[in-house]
Structure formats: C-alpha cells, structure tokens
Amino acid sequence: MKKVAKFGGSSLASAEQFRKVGEIILADTGRRYIVPSAPGKRSSKDTKVTDMLYQCYEAAEAGNTYTDLLGKIKERYDEIIRGLGLDLSLEEEFQKIEVSFAEKAGKEYAASRGEYLNGIVMANYLGYEFIDAAEVIFFDQEGKFKADHTNKVLSNRLKSLERAVIPGFYGAGPDGTVKTFSRGGSDITGSIVARAVRADLYENWTDVSGFLVADPNIIRNPQSIKMITYKELRELSYMGATVLHEDAIFPVRKAGIPINIKNTNKPEAEGTMIVQSTCRQAEYTITGIAGKKGFVAVNIEKDMMNAEIGFGRKVLEAFESQGISFEHVPSGIDTMSVFVHQEEFEGREQAVLSAIHRMAEPDMIELESDLALIAVVGRSMKSNRGVAARIFAALAHVNINIKMIDQGSSELNIIIGVKNSDFEGAIKAIYDIFVESQL
C-alpha cells in the first residue's frame, strides 16, 4: 500500500501533537509521503502560525517593526523542536525570512513559510527527505495551478524516493516566486502528491472524525458519514469546506484515488471514505444535508417565455455581464427564477435589473430576499421511492413553507428553498425523518 498522509494545522500545533502524528506514521509503513500544514491553534484562543505570518508581513510591508512578531513565530517552532528533543536549529532560516520580509518578498511567500518550516521540522523528526514544494508544484503568472506540468515534475522527483515530506499550501510561479493556494490549501497539495505517486489512498488527517450527516451546530451529535462519493460531496459543498478544501477533490478524482478523512486525536475511528463510486448503499436513504442562508430569488416573468428561443441565455447573460454567479435556476412555463448570493447581488442589484430589462425584455421582475437553500443529497435516493414526498411531508408537518424545489437530473440531490428563518427548523425536520427516526 502506498499512502499519502496530509496532516492539518491542529494536528501539528505542538510537540505533543507532533508525537501523535509520528506514531500514526510509524504504525503503517505505507504512509510514505507526508504533507504537513503550518502549526495551527493549540487552544481556541491561540493564533495559527499562518495568520501570525500574514500579520508579520503586513507590518513589514507598512514599514513597521516586525522582528518581535517574527521572534514569536520562531518560538512556536523552537517549542516544538525542544519538545521533540530534535537536534535542529531554524536560526538561519529565520534570518533569511527576516531579510526577505525587509525586501518585500510578497504576502504569499510570507504565508508559505509556515508550511515550509514545519516541513523541515517534520522531515527531521521522521528522518525523511525534505522536498521544497517550490521546486515541484507550479503556478502560472496569474496564480493558476499548473496541474499537468506539476504532475510530470513531481512524479519524476518522487519516483526514486521511498519516503519524503512535501510541505503543503504553496509552490512557485514561472519566475520562481512563491505562490500559495487559497486558505486551507494544504489539502490540495496532499491530493496533488497522491496523484503524482499514484497512491492507493490519500489520508487527510484533521481534528474531526470525518463528515457528519448534518451540521452539528444545528443537530446535536449527528451521525457521521462512513462513505461518500466525490459527486455527493460536491453536492454537499456548502458543508464540506471546513473539513476538506473543495479543490482537493480534483487531482485524486482524476486518478481514482479514494480520500480517507481521519482524526489525529482519535486514530482508531474509521473516519469518512470519499470514493469515486461504490456499490455500498448509504446507511440512510440520504447521505447528508447541507445548506446556506443568504440568497435572493430574482423572479422573472414573461408571457410565452417558453416559446422564445434564447430567453434563458439573455437572462443569464445579464447576470454574467455584472459578474454575478447564480446558484439555481428553477423555471415555470412563463417564469424563470435565478437564485443568487445576496451579499454579492446587493451591490449590483440595480445594474443587474436594468441589464435583464435591456437584454431579455421581461414583463415583470420580482425580488425575494433572505432565502436559504438546503441540499438533501444521497446516492441511494435514486432507488428509493417517495424521497421528495417524505421531505415535503416533514416540512409541512413543522409548518415550513417551501419556496423552491429543484431536483438534479442525476437524482442525487433535492434542493429546497425556504426562508432564512426556517433554515434550522427545516434541516432538523429532514434529519429527523431520514436519520433520527431510523436509529
């Protein structure tokens, strides 16, 4: 078995956490390629090293003193090094960083040092080779990740290496300057490495035992999801982002490598397996429920809309012309609704409305704000009759009015629009009917 194991910031926040990680790696000889994040929070009031680095660089850029804060960052690493009893000094590295900050090496360079230094510590601790991600992960001038070039260089480099540590989150642009992924991007690096070495499994170690069927802030102690497909996870992306970076799916998905979300603080827990496809039915009819508040429905009416060729395109073009992305577009014979993010829409509202009038010449436009969207997702829904009926009955039972219904043609999801104020109640009712009542 060849595995890539990525460890998140909270898994590497202190020497004690590093030890747990060390034990996990030693427990399985297949864990050959390790991708660390920067040290995260040691307690809820603590600050992540990445955030400290951003602050520190901001001060340097503004011409303020930053050496004290840099000293505090160094202390975070020294504490780990001391706690692990390693014979390692980061003195020279920090001198280089101090000079680079003074020379304004860039915000992304600054942030990347968290992973870079943690990679050096991790490699020293494990006795694995350290590979600077700037030599093997590439971005173009605009900061877009170059997947194929990276895959070629990285797989070549790792071919002859039995074991290695590759820090997460960053790589380099065409001129060698350091570029980073968006926050939480070490998950993406792990996935890229897994693809490059054709791993059997990509383990993503974090501080929760995988995905839950519903948000624990809404449902007390929700059940966990043992297995989920990439597609289901995409449909549940409203909830996924805090556990796994959305973009981390793509490299492994291409290569058909499963991801296992695991808990560093509870390694014996199974966690969640994310797979390409499975014949294993989900435990419940639904795999998960996720949602988000803060949408606006732009309801557009025009007589004989169904007969007008190009009407939908013109409407959507109006949104495009104002740089607004849409979430859902349910329609009727003479109506079409476009669901957009309220926050994004508010600033451009009038410009969008006049663009629709100009481009699509509707009879009427009506706006409805403060709506929430809830996605009920499950690969088993297809083979079960009455899923929609059960959802609607559950919502009717708790007096929640459904504003919109949208079922994807894959029958993998049913999206429901409700008022923001009904959001939590609706999720509870759906969870109850499909999960709680089945326990």
Q: Are 203 and 270 in contact (CB under 8 A)?
A: no
If one counts every other C-beta atom within 10 angstroms of the C-beta of residue 166, the result is 33
Using CB under 6 A, which of 36, 119, 167, 168 touches ligand ASP? 168
Which span (145-153, 184-192, 374-382, 408-416) binds ligand ASP, by CB under 6 A? 184-192
The neighbouring-strand residues paired with 180 are 170
Nearer to ligand ASP, 37 or 287 (CB): 37
260's tokens = 């296992």
Q: Is 39 in the site for ligand ASP (CB under 6 A)?
A: no
Which span (66-74, 177-185, 199-207, 209-217) binds ligand ASP, by CB under 6 A? 177-185
Residue 38 Cβ vs ligand ASP, minimum distance, rounded to whole Å: 4
- Please name which of 252, 225, 213, 238 lies closest in space to residue 434, comparing C-alpha atoms: 213
Size of the site for ligand ASP (CB under 6 A): 13
Residue 101 Cβ vs ligand ASP, minimum distance, rounded to whole Å: 18
For residues 395 to 414, the per-residue mask of contacts with ligand ASP, x marking binding by CB under 6 A and - elsewhere, is --------------------
Using CB under 6 A, which of 144, 183, 280, 382 touches ligand ASP? 183
The single-letter code of the amino acid at 208 is: V
3-state SS assignment for residue 348:
coil
Residue 37 Cβ vs ligand ASP, minimum distance, rounded to whole Å: 4
If one counts every other C-beta atom within 10 angstroms of the C-beta of residue 6, the result is 29
> CB-hemisphere CA count at 13 Å for 132?
10
User: For residues 399 and 394, what is the distance between their CA atoms, to the nearest angstrom?
Assistant: 9
Q: Which residue has the tokens 């991801």?
A: 259
Sign of the Cα torsion 253, 258, 261, 262 reads: negative
Side by side, the strands of the sheet bearing 335-341 are: 326-328, 335-341, 288-301, 364-377, 413-419, 404-407
For residues 185 to 214, the per-residue mask of contacts with ligand ASP, x marking binding by CB under 6 A and - elsewhere, is xxx---------------------------
Q: Are 250 and 347 in contact (CB under 8 A)?
A: no
Q: Which residue is nearest to ligand ASP (CB)?
A: 186
Using CB under 6 A, which of 4, 5, 25, 38 touches ligand ASP? 38
What Cα–Cα distance (Å) separates residue 155 from each residue in 50, 64, 130, 198, 349?
A: 28, 42, 15, 9, 48
User: For residues 407 and 387, what is the distance between their CA atoms, to the nearest angstrom?
Assistant: 11
Residue 311 Cβ vs ligand ASP, minimum distance, rounded to whole Å: 43
Q: Is 242 in the site for ligand ASP (CB under 6 A)?
A: no
Q: Is 184 in the site for ligand ASP (CB under 6 A)?
A: yes
Using CB under 6 A, which of 128, 169, 311, 434 touches ligand ASP? 169
Q: Is 112 in the site for ligand ASP (CB under 6 A)?
A: no
Using CB under 6 A, which of 14, 17, 37, 151 touches ligand ASP? 37
Q: Is 287 in the site for ligand ASP (CB under 6 A)?
A: no
DSSP annotation of 224: B
Residues 325, 327, 329: CA angle, nearest 5 degrees: 110
User: For residues 104 and 230, what is the distance between their CA atoms, to the nearest angstrom?
Assistant: 40
Q: Is 48 in the site for ligand ASP (CB under 6 A)?
A: yes
Which span (92-100, 178-186, 324-332, 399-407) binds ligand ASP, by CB under 6 A? 178-186
Q: Are 7 and 21 in contact (CB under 8 A)?
A: yes
Residue 48 Cβ vs ligand ASP, minimum distance, rounded to whole Å: 5
Nearer to ligand ASP, 114 or 119 (CB): 114
If one counts every other C-beta atom within 10 angstroms of the C-beta of residue 55, the result is 16
Q: Is 150 in the site for ligand ASP (CB under 6 A)?
A: no
Nearer to ligand ASP, 248 or 415 (CB): 248
Q: Is 114 in the site for ligand ASP (CB under 6 A)?
A: yes
Q: Is 9 in the site for ligand ASP (CB under 6 A)?
A: yes
Q: Is 50 in the site for ligand ASP (CB under 6 A)?
A: yes
Phi, psi of 274 (to 5 degrees): -110, 120
* Contacting positions for ligand ASP (CB under 6 A): 9, 37-38, 48, 50, 114, 168-169, 183-187
